[in-house]
Amino acid sequence: MTIRADHWIRRKALEDGMIEPFEPGQVSEVGGARVISYGVSSYGYDVRCASEFKVFTNIYSATVDPKAFDERSFVHVESDICVIPPNAFALASTIEYFRIPRDVLTLCVGKSTYARCGIIVNVTPLEPEWHGHVTLEFSNTTNLPAKIYAGEGVAQMLFFEADDPCEESYQDRQGKYQGQRGVTLPRP
């Protein structure tokens, strides 16, 4: 496997629609205001967070069960800023829609700006031939409220190209999260 660089990411995004919308360089300022950077970096792509959030809460004493998810487990927030309570968890989605090639595995890592504030970003791998908006999982590991900014960079995608395409892709398996749009909750 080979980690792919900026020129490969630009080519795959522009020619094959791998990332839409796509920003071909690093953006760290919008309208004269500093933002947490997004767009192509040296060996990855920094994704932005959409303005829809699902913040987990215990208001209704629901149990989080991945086989029978209770939507009372969270509150729905639509805003340019999401405040995650101390030691709490939230879901969001990328603005970008991904189309992963058959010979590529994509991994997500957090951005240092958030990591240094105690905010951990988790995303499962984007498998070969998966497509959709990425559901982002944020954990606030601090004992203080923490902010997430919509429209700004929140995580970095790294693209690993295999020497040979896989025998069975996510699309071949008809994966249950194929084509997801916006925040997607657990599906049994």
List the catalytic residues: 137
Nearest to 110 by CA among 121, 94, 124: 121
Q: Which residues, listed in sequence order, are joined to residue 41 by a DSSP beta bridge? A: 44
CB 92 within 8 A of CB 56: no
| Dihedral of the alpha carbons of 115, 46, 176, 83, in degrees to the nearest 10 | 50
Burial class (CB in 10 A: 0-12, 13-18, 19+), 8: middle
- Please enumerate in sequence order all residues whose Cβ is within 8 A of that of 129, keeping only pairs 6 or more positions apart, or say none: 100, 101, 102, 169, 170, 171, 172
Nearest to 147 by CA among 88, 90, 83, 78: 83
